[in-house]
Amino acid sequence: MNAMRAITVIPGKQDSVALTDMPEPPEEDGPVLVRTRAIGICGTDLEIINGEYGTAPPGQERLIVGHESLGRVAEAAPDTGFKAGDLVVGIVRRRDPVPCPACAAGHWDMCINDRYTERGIKGRHGYASERYRIHPEHLVAVDPALGVLGVLLEPATVVAKAWDHIEKIGRRAAWAPEAVLITGAGPIGLLAALLAVQRGHQTYVLDLVTEGRKPEMVRRLGATYVHSGDLTEAAAEADIVIECTGFIQLLLDAKSRHPRYRIICLTGVSAVGTESVIDPGLLNRNMVLRNSVLFGSVNANREHYELAAKALAQADPRWLADLITRQVPLDQWPDAYARRPDDIKTVLGFPDVSP
């Protein structure tokens, strides 16, 4: 086997996405060979295929995409801790070469010099190929009972990190948060809500839609769905807010919506140039006079993968299964990258070849 099929793009070039033949993964990528089973698709992938984001590995024209992955180990040396048949997920980010203090401590999600790389996104091939190689340090075993639901691990790590940091910030003083508001009922918002409910918080999820799968998923969690035009007092006064849309206007512009000490975590990424009507003076007063915290959170380190794996293992598998609204076989890959209104998570399925 000298070539394998992979979904690739020429970064920066719109409509360059294609199913192409790419060379087999090089040995130096690591001692574990994994066969890809499934790839989850998110907004970042769509930005990359639109030519707005992403970089190829040095000296190469094309980037293999795919950072949300699920695979099965095909071959692994005995000292790797993995064996053929294990269900696994590859970590996305790699530490920068310096490395900065954060990367040196394994906190590559907090890299301070921006020289980190990310598989399928920034300077490193992703997982949307029939096979990939990897070092065990960057591979996480998934409970086999999860099956294809293991593909939800990477998005769950993003919210596991957000929760980890919210709780770390919260420990700066005595605090007993009760209500949580999540903005956005996409996969990140719904997974953030899952972790909120698992922590016993009164949880509100706000989105634009009025019917369909998203409000239903919120209710099935035991959380309250709030239509964005209809923000209730209770939701508006939440102690913790996790923003999962990239549209932060709603959170920052109205005094009545920031009534007390609050931790706001931004996980959504907005387009540059978004028009703003935020009053910086009011924002300042709201933050300072209430000891509030507004912070951003991206990516995840190995600890967050472990936390996310636990959260998924404790979740109702039927609820997790309903987050995956479409599974598209590799032969029909263009369909996987086309957005449909009631999509939550679309998954691209790779042929199931046993190891």
**Is position 118 an interface residue for ligand BGC (rule: CB under 6 A)?**
yes
* Length of the chain counted residue by residue: 355
Give the nearer residue to ligand BGC in terms of CB position, either 4 or 49: 49
Give the nearer residue to ligand BGC in terms of CB position, either 139 or 238: 139
What's the min distance (Å) between Cβ of 289 and ligand BGC?
33
Rounded distance, CA 155 to CA 52, Å? 21
Given 36, 44, 224, 301, the residue binding ligand BGC (CB under 6 A) = 44
Burial 32-69 (b: 16+ CB within 10 A, else e): bbbbbbbbbbbbbbeebbebebbbbeeeeebbbbbbbb
Give the nearer residue to ligand BGC in terms of CB position, either 46 or 209: 46
**Is position 42 an interface residue for ligand BGC (rule: CB under 6 A)?**
yes
Give the nearer residue to ligand BGC in terms of CB position, either 72 or 93: 93
- Count of residues in contact with ligand BGC, rule CB under 6 A: 11
**Is position 298 an interface residue for ligand BGC (rule: CB under 6 A)?**
yes
215 phi and psi, to 5 degrees? -60, -35
Given 33, 73, 148, 158, the residue binding ligand BGC (CB under 6 A) = 158
Residue 203's Cβ-side half-sphere holds a number of Cα atoms within 13 Å equal to 27
Given 6, 17, 63, 121, the residue binding ligand BGC (CB under 6 A) = 121
Question: Side chain identity at 156, as an amino acid letter?
Answer: A
Rounded distance, CA 100 to CA 103, Å? 5
Residue 332's Cβ-side half-sphere holds a number of Cα atoms within 13 Å equal to 10
270-to-24, 43, 67, 155, 240 alpha-carbon distances in Å: 36, 11, 20, 18, 20
Give the nearer residue to ligand BGC in terms of CB position, either 92 or 193: 92
Given 299, 323, 344, 346, the residue binding ligand BGC (CB under 6 A) = 299
Give the nearer residue to ligand BGC in terms of CB position, either 44 or 202: 44
Helix (H) or strand (E) holding 153: helix 153-170
Quickly tell me which residue has 């709030």 as its tokens: 226
Give the nearer residue to ligand BGC in terms of CB position, either 184 or 215: 184
Give the nearer residue to ligand BGC in terms of CB position, either 121 or 179: 121
Q: List binders of ligand BGC among 196-255 (CB under 6 A).
A: none
21-to-56, 129, 137, 171, 333 alpha-carbon distances in Å: 16, 9, 28, 51, 14
Residues 6 or more apart whose CB falls under 8 angstroms from that of 92 comprise 67, 118, 119, 120, 121, 154, 299, 300
The site string for ligand BGC over 53-92 (x = CB under 6 A, - otherwise) reads --------------x------------------------x
SS3 250: helix
Site residues for ligand BGC per CB under 6 A: 42, 44, 67, 92-93, 118, 121, 154, 158, 298-299
